[in-house]
């Protein structure tokens, strides 16, 4: 519980309307996109400029009050979940696009700018910002940086980390620092890569310089139908093995297309066990050549039907279905739980068979959508929060998928981050010495652990507790536990 005297001091550094404490004002911030986890914040602050962010952080540091940063709250790992006794620092009002430089092909934006707004602002220069999370209409650049977000186009154009040149952050002490530059590389440790994906644990992002890329002359999508999900999984590996790097390579299984088609009317083949969407972009000649190669590989892998988008409207319709897959599944089930493991592409088929067996084991259905080219899975486990025990089953189902991802040589997250959701699985992914290193990095930025506490990096106590039930890759050194 935050002390009323501290709220008064917050009101001393922010305008009155920027400090919310009344229940009806703060309840909307009780969760992010993973609504199974909820916690009503004591206080929400909405600064309107960097100086106000600095003032809030200085105050929190001086009084040892924790801070949780939040952008649009679309995160799917409970990363922006309010923590008891913490200030929820919402960056949504820092939403100015400060500069677009068509010659340098860069944009400078505040953290509350929506992802899609950058491409809209750059469009008159025939440029766009490549990382395109399906939530891009709402999610903010601050959240994208904190999660190292990805999207359909990241297979060819890279994740957030590959498309950001410089970030400006405020430390928990209220000190402003800049990392990166306009140049593609810099000497010394790569602190930019360290901070991108750090889930609000190292500092609060107040400005981001991103790269813009030219809009391709042409983009077309091949949609392939498969009668067997394993064949579709193998086709993904075969495309990459053939040396083709598509602009997007996504897969949806039958339950996913069945949910999406009535919602979006994308023209998906509802008889197929799985469909693949494979985009080529470039000059018309490059696209024609790549599509011919893609068709040959897909046919060789057993695709029974191939369609190529014949207009920009049709291409966008094919993608609209994939991008709306989460809300479409939300229409057919009271609740769904979106997972985010990553596995080596060649093991997609194995993972899909295992998920089918888990559906029977837990008695819950699962629709599968994938950033298949990246080996990034998004199983959508359907459950009903109002049924006693259903959420616990969904959570156990999800945990089993994540831990199998590690066993198959992959990772517990591809793009959604760890947050609270996957914190136990961090104990499976990493050894004790690796976690100790993460804690040391955290301490170098935030010694008192005030920024987004309890998220992303598990304490060794937590791992010890979890390790009693699960096999831990590393050897737990119990005498060391008191240090964290």
Ligand X SMILES: Cc1cc2nc3c(=O)[nH]c(=O)nc-3n(C[C@H](O)[C@H](O)[C@H](O)COP(=O)(O)OP(=O)(O)OC[C@H]3O[C@@H](n4cnc5c(N)ncnc54)[C@H](O)[C@@H]3O)c2cc1C
Report the relative pairing of strands 106-109 and 97-101 from DSSP bridges. antiparallel
Length of the chain equals 484
**Binding of residue 69 to ligand X (CB under 6 A):** yes
**71/467 with CB nearer ligand X:** 71
Distance between CA 363 and CA 383 in Å, rounded?
10
**29/362 with CB nearer ligand X:** 29
Q: Could you count the other beta carbons within 10 Å of the beta carbon of residue 353?
A: 12
Main-chain phi, psi angles of 252, to 5 degrees: -135, 140
**Binding of residue 74 to ligand X (CB under 6 A):** yes
Closest CB 357 distance from ligand X, rounded Å: 27
Q: Could you count the other beta carbons within 10 Å of the beta carbon of residue 271?
A: 11
Specify the 3-state DSSP secondary structure of 38.
Answer: coil
Q: Is 253 left (phi over 0), alpha (psi -120 to 50) or beta?
A: beta
Answer for which of 41, 47, 82, 151 binds ligand X (CB under 6 A) is 151
Site string for ligand X, 403-422 (x = CB under 6 A): ------------xx------
Main-chain phi, psi angles of 316, to 5 degrees: -65, -35
**Binding of residue 224 to ligand X (CB under 6 A):** no
Q: Could you count the other beta carbons within 10 Å of the beta carbon of residue 183?
A: 8
Burial of 21 (0-12, 13-18, 19+ CB in 10 A): middle
Distance between CA 288 and CA 282 in Å, rounded?
9
**Residues 257/267, Cβ–Cβ less than 8 Å:** no
**403/446 with CB nearer ligand X:** 446
Q: Within positions 181 to 210, which residues make up the interface with ligand X, using CB under 6 A?
A: 199-200, 204-205
Taking CB atoms, the residue at the shortest distance from ligand X is 143
**229/329 with CB nearer ligand X:** 329
Q: Within positions 120 to 149, which residues make up the interface with ligand X, using CB under 6 A?
A: 133-135, 139-140, 142-144, 146-147, 149
Distance between CA 292 and CA 298 in Å, rounded?
10
**73/410 with CB nearer ligand X:** 73
Report the relative pairing of strands 366-371 and 248-253 from DSSP bridges. antiparallel
**287/456 with CB nearer ligand X:** 456
**67/352 with CB nearer ligand X:** 67
Report the relative pairing of strands 127-128 and 19-20 from DSSP bridges. unpaired
Answer for which of 72, 221, 264, 406 binds ligand X (CB under 6 A) is 72
CA dist 261 to 108, 268, 360, Å?
A: 38, 6, 25
**150/233 with CB nearer ligand X:** 150
**Binding of residue 374 to ligand X (CB under 6 A):** no
Burial of 213 (0-12, 13-18, 19+ CB in 10 A): middle
**Binding of residue 71 to ligand X (CB under 6 A):** yes
Main-chain phi, psi angles of 126, to 5 degrees: 60, 35
Q: What is the DSSP letter of 114?
A: B
Q: Within positions 259 to 298, which residues make up the interface with ligand X, using CB under 6 A?
A: none
Closest CB 11 distance from ligand X, rounded Å: 22
Closest CB 451 distance from ligand X, rounded Å: 8
Q: Within positions 77 to 106, which residues make up the interface with ligand X, using CB under 6 A?
A: 79-80, 91
Closest CB 272 distance from ligand X, rounded Å: 22
Answer for which of 41, 47, 82, 111 binds ligand X (CB under 6 A) is 111
Of 212, 41, 134, residue with least CA distance to 416:
134
Specify the 3-state DSSP secondary structure of 422.
Answer: coil
**291/329 with CB nearer ligand X:** 329
Closest CB 5 distance from ligand X, rounded Å: 26
Closest CB 388 distance from ligand X, rounded Å: 26
Site string for ligand X, 308-347 (x = CB under 6 A): ------------------x---------------------
Q: Which residues bind ligand X (CB under 6 A)?
A: 32-33, 68-76, 79-80, 91, 111, 133-135, 139-140, 142-144, 146-147, 149-151, 199-200, 204-205, 326, 415-416, 452
């Amino acid at each position: 519980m935050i002390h009323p005297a501290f709220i008064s001091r917050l009101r001393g550094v922010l305008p009155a309307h920027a400090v919310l404490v009344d229940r009806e004002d703060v309840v909307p911030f009780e969760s992010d996109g993973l609504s199974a986890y909820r916690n009503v914040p004591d206080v929400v602050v909405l600064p309107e400029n960097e100086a106000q962010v600095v003032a809030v952080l200085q105050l929190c540091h001086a009084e040892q009050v924790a801070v949780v940063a939040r952008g649009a709250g679309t995160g799917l790992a409970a990363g922006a979940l309010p923590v008891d006794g913490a200030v929820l620092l919402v960056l949504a009002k820092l939403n100015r696009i400060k500069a677009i430089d068509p010659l340098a092909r860069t944009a400078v934006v505040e953290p509350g700018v929506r992802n899609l707004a950058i491409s809209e602002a750059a469009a008159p220069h025939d440029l766009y910002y490549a990382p395109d999370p399906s939530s891009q209409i709402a999610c903010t650049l601050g959240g994208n940086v904190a999660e190292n977000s990805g999207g359909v186009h990241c297979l060819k154009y890279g994740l957030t980390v590959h498309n950001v040149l410089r970030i400006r952050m405020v430390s928990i002490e209220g000190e402003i620092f800049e990392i990166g530059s306009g140049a593609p590389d810099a000497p010394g440790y790569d602190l930019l890569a360290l901070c991108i994906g750090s889930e609000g644990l190292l500092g609060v992002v107040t400005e981001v310089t991103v790269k813009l890329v030219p809009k391709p002359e042409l983009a077309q999508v091949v949609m392939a139908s498969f009668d067997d999900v394993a064949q579709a999984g193998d086709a993904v590996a075969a495309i990459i093995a053939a040396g083709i790097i598509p602009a997007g390579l996504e897969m949806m299984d039958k339950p996913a297309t069945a949910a999406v088609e009535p919602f979006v009317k994308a023209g998906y083949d509802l008889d197929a066990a799985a469909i693949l969407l494979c985009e080529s972009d470039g000059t018309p000649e490059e696209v024609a050549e790549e599509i011919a190669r893609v068709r040959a590989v897909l046919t060789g892998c057993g695709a029974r039907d191939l369609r190529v988008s014949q207009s920009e409207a049709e291409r966008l319709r094919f993608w609209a279905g994939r991008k709306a897959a989460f809300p479409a599944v939300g229409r057919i089930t009271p609740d769904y739980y979106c997972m985010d493991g990553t596995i080596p592409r060649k093991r997609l088929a194995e993972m899909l068979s295992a998920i089918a067996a888990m559906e029977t084991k837990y008695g819950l259905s699962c629709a599968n959508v994938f950033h298949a080219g990246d080996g990034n899975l998004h199983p959508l486990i359907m459950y009903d929060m109002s049924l006693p025990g259903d959420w616990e089953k969904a959570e156990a189902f999800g945990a089993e998928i994540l831990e199998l991802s590690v066993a198959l040589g992959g990772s517990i997250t591809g793009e959604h981050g760890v947050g609270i959701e996957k914190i136990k699985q961090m104990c499976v992914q990493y050894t004790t010495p690796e976690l100790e290193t993460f804690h040391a990095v955290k301490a170098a930025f935030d010694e008192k652990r005030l920024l987004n506490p309890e998220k992303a990096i598990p304490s060794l106590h937590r791992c010890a507790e979890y390790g009693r039930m699960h096999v831990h890759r590393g050897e737990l050194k119990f005498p060391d536990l008191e240090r964290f």
